[in-house]
Structure 1
Amino acid sequence: MLISFSICSTMLHDLLQGTDTGGLFIIQDSGSCSGRRLLWSFIKAALNRTEAVHVLSFEVSEDELKDGLKGSPIERLHFHNAYSDPLAWTGSATFTVDQFCVEKVTKLIKQTSQVKTAILAIDSLSWILRHISPSAVCKTLQQLKNGGCVANVIGLLHSDMHSRGTVGSLCHLATSLITVKAVLRGDQAMITKRLKSGKVLQGEEVFTIKDDLTVIGQGKPSRSEPQEQMCISNMADPTANLTFNLRLSESQREAKEKLALPFVFSKEKKAALLHTGSGRIVYEPDANDDYDQEDPDDDLDV
């Protein structure tokens, strides 16, 4: 069952508060709007709840992450460096892309965390998908979600780097999907949340992120965003430099509308074809017919 509605600021706020456990959260962004600061907001919110957070970072260094989380209680933050050497060329990384499987991730978390469950943040899933098949990545995420060593998995996905099928597979696996895009008032989050009962909730919300990574809800998005209209109007016309014209003038349009198509019957032809009248069948035997009026079945030889 699919339930669609507009939300004020509750759905994104609830996700940040960590009220749902045993889930896979995917933040889907693109080159035009980054979702990394929203991922950091989820990390900070978990740290403020005194939860342990493990970060598999392929695209951001430890210094950059900690600088972004400045002011947060980072003593429970466990950074697993997959940024400096993700393919194990120099042996300097603590985590490599080929280690992304449930056994090695679980072992890594249990070695570096004293709590039974923790939050796992992945920055980003796109880097992993470039080197591991989507089916293997989906299998690992499903096992991590249900395995018990992590309370939630939060992954950043750059949707414009992958095929529609790959993105669809991961998004279908997610219990909560947050798609971000830039609008005039800030960023817009399109949220899809799957409940354990089987219901699916959908909502849209405009939000901004302060310097301290606090997410501020701006209410519902307007139906017509001025920024989107401006972008559309400023797009280059792909038909501007063609050697032929794809558009019709008014006279050409009128001539086209008056043109009778070859397989379209006129009213007169339809009336002639549909005209009903009386008729009869006339049989005229020729000289070679051996037809006996008294025995019509004589030629059957019975």
Structure 2
Amino acid sequence: MLLEVLQGTEAGGFILIQDSVNYCGRHLLKSCINTALKREEVVHVLGFEVSQEELNDGLDRTSAQRLHFHNAYSDPLGWTGNSPFTVHQFTLEDIGTLLKQTPQAKAVTLVIDSLSWILRHHDPAAICQKLQALKKGGVVRAVIGLLHSDLHQRGTVGSICHLATSVITVAPGTRGLGAVAKITRRTKSGKLMQDEEIFSINEDLTVTIQSKRSHPGSTPMNTDESEVDPTAHLTFNLRLSDTQREAKEKLPLPFVFSKEKKSALLHPGTGSGRILYEPDANDDYDQEDPDDDLDV
């Protein structure tokens, strides 16, 4: 499934690569960029964490004219006033202005390296709204973002993952053999597909799938083992015999009326009781002033 996500051509997608201090996901991010360039797509990169030289290392040089790097690495907060792009410019208007500077015939792929820089200086709710607007399409065909999950609260990470159409969580492999990718993919119908694969990244940034890991809990249960009866050693009986069950079913429920009782309630006979009240002389009730007997 990892190769399907990296090579996907579905418009309006949001691919999120989630890493931690144990394993860096930037090489996988660069593999996504390289794959998009080989599909002859125009790629715009908002670079906050590495320089342009470091990002370009290993990418397809024949497609360099379709790769546009917006430098937010040298001055991400805009302290010098000469930064080409800052973290405070992560707005739909400023991103649209950047994309218009390089006119192209088709929509582009927007790469954010990384979302952690933006989330640490913006309200997470506002960032979710902007990502939702970006992934709908328009000038941006697809969004690819890198997120360092161990730098944020669990609720923030969960909100970003909920927006993504595909989430790739990377971790180091066992015994130093490759890396582990846990992929969660959401189809257009809303169905979730999950997979776990061991992969490696080659020098040309291509991804090789080494094997697939079995999901926890997928091991079939042993049917030969005898089931344990929790009521076997009790001092009292929790089960009913056939005679007891038949007698229980014949008992009338207290809130269920019989036909005779329903008929008596709905059609009272001539001997039914009534309450009649006749006021006497001591009542002294005045209809024009009902409160006449009150000392007010």
Same structural fold, with TM-score higher than 0.5 when normalized by the shorter chain:
yes
Instruction: Give how far 1:29 is off.
Output: 0.2
Instruction: Give how far 1:75 is off.
Output: 1.4
Instruction: Give how far 1:18 is off.
Output: 2.5
Alignment of 1:86-105 (within 5 A): 86-105=76-95
Question: How far apart, in 1, do the equivalents of 2:47 and 2:40 lie?
Answer: 21
1:188 equivalenced with 2:169 (yes/no): no
Corresponding residue to 2:22 among 22, 32, 35: 32
Of the two, which has the highest radius of gyration?
A: 2
1:76 equivalenced with 2:61 (yes/no): no
Alignment of 1:2-151 (within 5 A): 11-69=1-59, 71=61, 73-151=63-141
Comparing 99-108 with 35-44, greater Cα deviation is found at 99-108
Instruction: Give how far 1:63 is off.
Output: 0.9
Instruction: Give how far 1:147 is off.
Output: 4.2
Instruction: Give how far 1:222 is off.
Output: 5.8
Question: How far apart, in 2, do the equivalents of 1:146 and 1:223 lie?
Answer: 32
Instruction: Give how far 1:21 is off.
Output: 1.6
Instruction: Give how far 1:114 is off.
Output: 1.6
Partner of 2:203: 211
Question: How far apart, in 2, do the equivalents of 1:43 and 1:87 lie?
Answer: 25
- What do the CA deviations read for 1:210-234 (whole angstroms, capped 9, x no partner)? 011010001212679xxxxxxxxxx
Q: 1:72–1:45: structure 2 CA closer, same or farther, 3 Å change rule?
A: farther
Q: 1:141–1:75: structure 2 CA closer, same or farther, 3 Å change rule?
A: same
Q: 1:172–1:68: structure 2 CA closer, same or farther, 3 Å change rule?
A: same
Query: 1:91 aligns to what SS in structure 2?
Result: coil
1:190 touches 1:202 (CA, 8 Å); kept in 2? yes
Partner of 1:298: none
Question: How far apart, in 1, do the equivalents of 2:21 and 2:51 lie?
Answer: 20
Corresponding residue to 1:153 among 129, 134, 143: 143
Sequence identity percentage? 59
Partner of 2:153: 163
Report the AA paired with residue 186 of structure 1.
G
Question: How far apart, in 2, do the equivalents of 1:147 and 1:48 lie?
Answer: 21
TM score, norm. by length of structure 2: 0.70
Partner of 2:193: 201
Q: 1:175–1:223: structure 2 CA closer, same or farther, 3 Å change rule?
A: closer
Instruction: Give how far 1:136 is off.
Output: 0.9
Report the AA paired with residue 133 of structure 1.
D
Where structure 2 has 5 or more consecutive residues not aligned to the other structure, the ranges are 217-233, 237-296
Q: 1:40–1:72: structure 2 CA closer, same or farther, 3 Å change rule?
A: farther
Q: Which has the higher contact order (CA 8 A, sep 6+)?
A: 1
Question: How far apart, in 1, do the equivalents of 2:3 and 2:185 lie?
Answer: 13
Deviating beyond 6 angstroms after TM superposition, the runs of 4 or more aligned structure 1 residues are none
Query: 2:150 aligns to what SS in structure 1?
Result: helix
The CA RMSD measured in Å over matched residues stands at 1.8
Q: 1:203–1:222: structure 2 CA closer, same or farther, 3 Å change rule?
A: closer
Where structure 1 has 5 or more consecutive residues not aligned to the other structure, the ranges are 1-10, 225-266, 271-302
- What do the CA deviations read for 1:151-206 (whole angstroms, capped 9, x no partner)? 11000000000000000000011111000000132111101111111111111111
Question: How far apart, in 2, do the equivalents of 1:32 and 1:81 lie?
Answer: 27
2:14 touches 2:143 (CA, 8 Å); kept in 1? yes
Q: 1:223–1:51: structure 2 CA closer, same or farther, 3 Å change rule?
A: closer
